[in-house]
Amino acid sequence: MTFWPAVIMLFLVMDPLGNIPIFISVLSDVDEKRRRRILIRELVIALFIMLCFLFFGNRLMNAMSISSPALSIAGGIILFIIAIRMIFPIRHRALMGDNPDSEPFIVPLAIPLVAGPSTIVTVMLMSSNEPNRLLDWLVVVIIAWLASAVILLFSDILSKVFRKRGLAAMERLMGMILTTIAVEMFLKGLATFFRNSG
């Protein structure tokens, strides 16, 4: 995978536009002065988690005897499900558990909204398929994370500018692009598997 397509794919998987309404909802009861600090903290935690899987995900795969084609096929399936949910969104249930008025910490903002399963799988796929390009993948993760962070930090403004329908339309467009990426990833995984088994 080349550099910029990897950036675009990871950005689409992180789905910052789709997360705007959820972030606003989760932080609605938090004091405005603390809201930005909490958001920055959660974004930094998410970046740390993504980098952990970027650098150590390969070792985890080897320890669990997971092959690269298997991860590629699983990643394609997960991305496809995420893309379908972006195109046909479902109403999100409460994300704060039994204590909705508490300040969010790690869950649900850092995990699973920013560094969710699909994001982690995508990062692991990049590092496992081409481990000799870890520096490239590090830059990819940082650029995609920065783009998502900027969108989420200005979520209040973007929500007022685009409103719900505008955000929904953009998310569906991103979902359609992600669908093709997911199918391509799935097919590549299958091709690699049959080539190795043959």
The confidence score (pLDDT) of residue 91 equals 55
The confidence score (pLDDT) of residue 102 equals 62
The confidence score (pLDDT) of residue 90 equals 67
Residues of the chain with pLDDT under 50: 92-94, 96-100
How far is Cα of residue 44 from the mean position of the Cα atoms in its chain?
14
In a domain, 163, yes or no: yes
Residue type, 130: E
The confidence score (pLDDT) of residue 41 equals 95
How far apart are the C-alpha atoms of 40 and 27, rounded to whole Å?
12
Q: Quick count: other Cβ atoms within 10 Å of Cβ 147?
A: 16
In a domain, 115, yes or no: yes
The confidence score (pLDDT) of residue 107 equals 83
User: Could you tell me the residue range of the domain that residue 51 belongs to?
Assistant: 3-22+30-89+105-197
Residues 149 and 46: beta-carbon distance below 8 Å: no
In a domain, 50, yes or no: yes
Mean of the per-residue pLDDT values of the chain? 85
Structure tokens at 110: 């850092």
Structure tokens at 103: 């300040």
